[in-house]
Structure 1
């Protein structure tokens, strides 16, 4: 039987088409791409510190492509609850009282991650600690008062910028020379209630709070506090001291060279270096030479990093990774140098003491020396009591009555204690931490 070429060609084509297929190997499955986890981070640190925080967040995002931390400033109560919150003091009080957070220790435990920080210290206001001593938030913005000064202004007054006074009485003589040299603002301070009353109390081993039954009560009218406020009043009248407000308003006039000396939190050092056109000196917070036990130790306070409630397990795992990143030696160094805050663990403390970083971390070195100058006494222990908005308001109002020459120092502090003990401190609404 003859088959035409055309039919044969068609048959071959059909055979080729219909040839039995070999069993195809299953295509290799591509590894599933990890899901991107986004974490909103709201802070209230202000513009300058916010820029330093943005650098830290950017470095974390670059090292963790499957996690994106989005940073913003403003009110954390608006809209959806952020995963990470770094509030100011008022915001922190609100966050704690409304219980809109998940404890840090719980997040880290759930993610199987260690929490490598210092134990809770008695000279640190223990706001983020629960009744069992566990960290509920990460205290990333701690500082304590130090003294900053304009080296050029002191030299102009005939003072040695490399050998400044250590006591308030010696500073009085020095400020007189600064005033005589033509400087209309020899000395100023930020946060008068926290620095001039609370920390002056601790540094001079004078109780700031006392037990009133089973509750803490204001005790800021002792001999040293009255003496100190009376001295500040005399400086104010003599124009050695200028007060610009209850908060951080004094930073700007100092940075612009209008004021020669400033008492402020140690974390302001890098900010002042960025703002000032002169060489900023740093010295320990002054003490009273006749105070028994002085200098004792100052106390540290500051904002903490809180974790928002109601997040998924994946989000909390990402949060734990971010916390661990913050506690690495590299980040601890970066945060100290750029933002000025105190270290949180041994790695950070070793960096603070490094000779290579001594010029950049001089404020932290002085701060740590103050905090650990002597073992904490009953009088110099930190307390959350002074953090209450009612307590700060009372102290601010009474201090301002002294500046206005309406009350002498003793009456103002006596009135502050009486007002606080009468219930104006908001004792029944505030949360007390052990």
Structure 2
């Protein structure tokens, strides 16, 4: 064969190979940045892999970006640099920040309508729809992993301390924490997500306002008002228990949760999404019960508010990316897929159909723990104090609240002074957010 004929043959073969391989290059990749670690990281990867296997036009590429705050900060920085992901998981307290980021997002209701994908906000649990919607009812982001706060209970530790059943009220919790401390010197009671639990959830559960204007849902020009005798009483009791570690502080986020699974803390307030870790690591009998309440408060318990996160679609993406994202959201909305997500992750089933199917299957009879947050969320119809919250800059404001609670627990401030300062400093930050983000 001459060199010319060989070259022509080789070129023909190469052209055939390129043509055969070219469909692979037509796949549209969609970056999905998230904050799911541990067992729930596996759930995220499975959802992405299942979607990718279900069709050949789009590929969801999940990337773990650290904590919720880390993921939000990374996404904002990436948007400013012009390389934001297509989908970003943002925790619920970042909602106002995302809403105020002009041009950074594409509302999910708008996306689904443009792409002709079925999307009915009424199919989701009302408390979830309301949290992520505008005042007109248009959904801004796609609900993904919603949770609520519950109290995890080491039943073996209670039995050892002579306690017959899990406590229901705060006075019972305080008493039981002292009894548990007698058998566990370093911790009777603790909590994660301290501001979510002791300020946000506590206020909603007792039907008292965190801030004016329906906790900010009716406008950014809101004021914090949670420095009342009720909230102060809670902090005062915990300060007293902290002195001998009947209550022992475990930090601002959920880094201390291992204190429950190790058996160190007999009572532990944290997210219902802690379930997979407890199931995998606890070597004792355990359960989860509803958050405690003060029985002398007229409307308590009211209903809890959601935690967790939603998926935000970032602005400035190609038509093909948006088409793929819309199809992925339709894929995630499938009832059986929602049932899987709920049962595996410990997060709430976000659609009514998924909740009803899970309940009808008898799942909760064998796994009552996973219905506890749903019962909290639907305990009573939401009020202006318990629909949710939307405060600008809340990620940073939570750090200020934590500083004040920490100062009280360390004996550097009275509980009243700490709560007054938390409200005052928080209000200053709200005004700063209004000036920078616009009303």
Moved more, 240-249 or 43-52: 43-52
C-alpha distance in structure 1 between counterparts of 2:123 and 2:393, whole Å: 21
Check the 8 A contact 1:208/1:220 in 2, yes or no.
yes
Distance 1:431 1:121, change over 3 A: farther
C-alpha distance in structure 2 between counterparts of 1:121 and 1:345, whole Å: 6
Say if 2:360 is the partner of 1:358.
Answer: no
Match in the other structure for 1:134? 138
Distance 1:58 1:262, change over 3 A: same
Question: Pick from 261, 266, 272: which aligns with 1:266?
Answer: 272
C-alpha distance in structure 2 between counterparts of 1:270 and 1:147, whole Å: 15
C-alpha distance in structure 1 between counterparts of 2:386 and 2:92, whole Å: 21
C-alpha distance in structure 2 between counterparts of 1:171 and 1:410, whole Å: 21
Task: Give the CA deviation at 1:315.
Answer: 2.2
Q: CA RMSD in A?
A: 2.9
Match in the other structure for 1:18? none
Check the 8 A contact 1:38/1:67 in 2, yes or no.
yes
Check the 8 A contact 2:227/2:420 in 1, yes or no.
yes
Question: Pick from 80, 83, 88: which aligns with 2:86?
Answer: 83
Check the 8 A contact 2:207/2:299 in 1, yes or no.
yes
What TM-score results when the alignment is normalised by the length of structure 2? 0.83
Task: Give the CA deviation at 1:427.
Answer: 3.7
Matched position secondary structure for 1:188: strand
Matched position secondary structure for 1:72: strand
Question: Pick from 301, 314, 323: which aligns with 2:320?
Answer: 314
- Structure (1/2) with the larger helix percentage: 2
C-alpha distance in structure 2 between counterparts of 1:386 and 1:242, whole Å: 30
- The size of the alignment, in residue pairs, is 401
Check the 8 A contact 1:198/1:386 in 2, yes or no.
no
Match in the other structure for 1:103? 107
Question: Pick from 185, 195, 219: which aligns with 1:193?
Answer: 195
Check the 8 A contact 2:58/2:324 in 1, yes or no.
yes
Task: Give the CA deviation at 1:167.
Answer: 0.4
Check the 8 A contact 2:177/2:247 in 1, yes or no.
no
Query: Computing the radius of gyration over CA atoms, which structure comes out larger, 1 or 2?
Result: 1
Question: Pick from 393, 405, 409: which aligns with 1:399?
Answer: 405
Check the 8 A contact 2:151/2:291 in 1, yes or no.
yes
C-alpha distance in structure 1 between counterparts of 2:170 and 2:361, whole Å: 30
Match in the other structure for 1:275? 281
Task: Give the CA deviation at 1:33.
Answer: 6.5
Question: Pick from 158, 165, 168: which aligns with 2:162?
Answer: 158
Match in the other structure for 2:152? 148
C-alpha distance in structure 2 between counterparts of 1:204 and 1:379, whole Å: 9
Match in the other structure for 2:13? none
Alignment of 1:18-33 (within 5 A): none
Distance 1:139 1:54, change over 3 A: same
Match in the other structure for 2:257? 251
Question: Pick from 18, 32, 50: which aligns with 1:59?
Answer: 50
C-alpha distance in structure 1 between counterparts of 2:46 and 2:249, whole Å: 33
Matched position secondary structure for 1:239: coil
Question: Pick from 286, 290, 304: which aligns with 1:298?
Answer: 304
Check the 8 A contact 2:95/2:132 in 1, yes or no.
no
Task: Give the CA deviation at 1:352.
Answer: 4.1
Distance 1:214 1:71, change over 3 A: closer
Match in the other structure for 2:373? 367
Residues 189-245 of structure 1 show CA distances to partners (whole Å, capped at 9, x for unaligned) of 001111011211111122211259982111111121011111111121232111121
Distance 1:366 1:395, change over 3 A: same
Question: Pick from 176, 183, 198: which aligns with 2:178?
Answer: 176
Check the 8 A contact 1:125/1:299 in 2, yes or no.
no
Residues 159-190 of structure 1 show CA distances to partners (whole Å, capped at 9, x for unaligned) of 23xx3121011122222221222452111100
Check the 8 A contact 2:195/2:398 in 1, yes or no.
yes
Matched position secondary structure for 1:242: coil
Matched position secondary structure for 2:179: helix
Structure 2 unaligned residues grouped into runs of 5+: 1-19, 66-73
C-alpha distance in structure 2 between counterparts of 1:289 and 1:182, whole Å: 28
